[in-house]
Amino acid sequence: MKLVLDEEEIWIIECIKEAHIDCGFHVRDVIKKAKARYGLSRSTVYEIISYLEFHGLVKTNKSGNRELDQSISYFIVCPVCGKEVPENEYIVENGRAICEDCYLEEHQRIKFADPMAVRSKKLFRKSHGLEGTEGLTDIQKDLCEFIQTEGAVTPEKISTLFGLTPQETKNQLAILRHCELVKWRQIGDEICIVLFDS
């Protein structure tokens, strides 16, 4: 049977890992951590540990202490993409266990209207005598041209026509935004990209 753990159960596993010493772990230490970090009550911690015991993830060792059985495999459901991920392939960040793909995607994300990025990009372009679409990659130039021709275009349309993933589109548009070549504009109930000067 495939064991799929929920968020609170993952938190307990993380707390157990930290509370682990050579001879096992003490529930009291797990309760302290789980309470301080995630606000879980004592009874919830006990309940989850007994659930983990039932599935063999927590067992009693020779010295009579509880320990985590690393040989038992389990899965989590990534809250971002909904994929089931085995225990050695997820990343816990701020109490949230997500799959590696979603983790990377989130960390590659470039903030769209980032004042510092705009400033540094502007200074860089000015110091290199770059104007308009000079110094941009071919795809960025194509995007600018396309946006100019269309007037206003949704990021979804750009993704489809240029064969980019939604994240790649966002990243490219973020760079153009930092160069102050494009900006967002709400048209009806759609959020579109338009040229910065329009």
Residues interacting with Zn ion, by CB under 5 A?
78, 80-81, 99, 102
- Report in angstroms how near the CB of residue 93 gets to Zn ion at its nearest: 12
- Report in angstroms how near the CB of residue 10 gets to Zn ion at its nearest: 14
31 vs 85 by CB, closer to Zn ion: 85
DSSP string, 114-159: -HHHHHHHHHHHHHTT--TTTT--HHHHHHHHHHHHHSEE-HHHHH
Cβ atoms of 75 and 87 closer than 8 Å? yes
Q: How far apart are CA 41 and CA 140, in angstroms?
A: 52
- Report in angstroms how near the CB of residue 197 gets to Zn ion at its nearest: 39
7 vs 150 by CB, closer to Zn ion: 7
Instruction: Single out the residue of 122, 140, 133, 144 nearest to residue 194, CA to CA.
Output: 144
- Report in angstroms how near the CB of residue 80 gets to Zn ion at its nearest: 4
56 vs 79 by CB, closer to Zn ion: 79
35 vs 96 by CB, closer to Zn ion: 96
